[in-house]
Each structure stands twice: as C-alpha cells, then as structure tokens.
Amino acid sequence: MKNMKSQQEEMQSTLKKIKVAVSKNGIAIEANAAREILNISIDKDLMEDKEQLEDMLIFAINDITQAIQQQEAVASQDMMSKVLPGGLAGLGDMFSK
C-alpha cells in the first residue's frame, strides 16, 4: 500500500509539471495535467458582450479540459509501462478507449 501511495504522489507531481495551453477566440487558458487552471487571459473586446464572453469561455474550458485529459492519459500510460511487467504494459490501453 505504501508503494501505491508513493506512486500516486509521484504521478501528481509529474502531472503538475506538464503544462497545457489553449488559445482560441480571444481567450487563452493555461493549466497543468493535474487539472489545475493556472491562468486565464481574456481579450478586452470580449468584455463588451457578456453573452459572447460566456460562450467563448465555455468553448475554451472544454478545449483545455480535452487537452488536459490527453496529456493525463499519456502520463498515465507512461507510468503504467514502468510499473507493469513487460508483457502487461498494454493492459492500460483496454481502459483508455
């Protein structure tokens, strides 16, 4: 159990180091693969139209969420390949599809 806990902590540490960024329609969001939003920048022109801003935020948040999930899957796959014996490393693929 202790080994599992240290592996989880190592994974969280690794995920925090993986930076993800999306910039679209005047909104830029920076995050890490540990699902933490680090920065949001909004073009001042979007501030004039509340509904448009809300819509663009939804699109940007969905995009960054998808990018984070992809990076998280890559990091998880890498860690699984290190933990599982040689022939079992492909087992993680069964659950990521």
Number of domains into which the chain is organized: 1
Predicted model pTM:
0.76
Q: Please list the residues that pair with 28 across neighbouring strands.
A: 23, 41
Mean pLDDT of the chain: 86
> Which uninterrupted H or E stretch holds 32?
strand 27-32
Q: Is residue 64 situated within a structural domain?
A: yes
Range of the domain at 64: 48-72
Q: Is residue 67 part of a domain?
A: yes
CA atoms within 13 A on the CB side of 51: 0
Taking only the tens place, the pLDDT of each residue in 22-47 is: 999 999 999 999 999 999 999 999 99
54 located within any domain: yes
Asked if residue 58 belongs to a domain, the reply is yes
pLDDT of 77 reads 87
In a domain, 61, yes or no: yes
Q: What per-residue confidence (pLDDT) applies to 5?
A: 85
Residue 60 domain-assigned (yes or no): yes
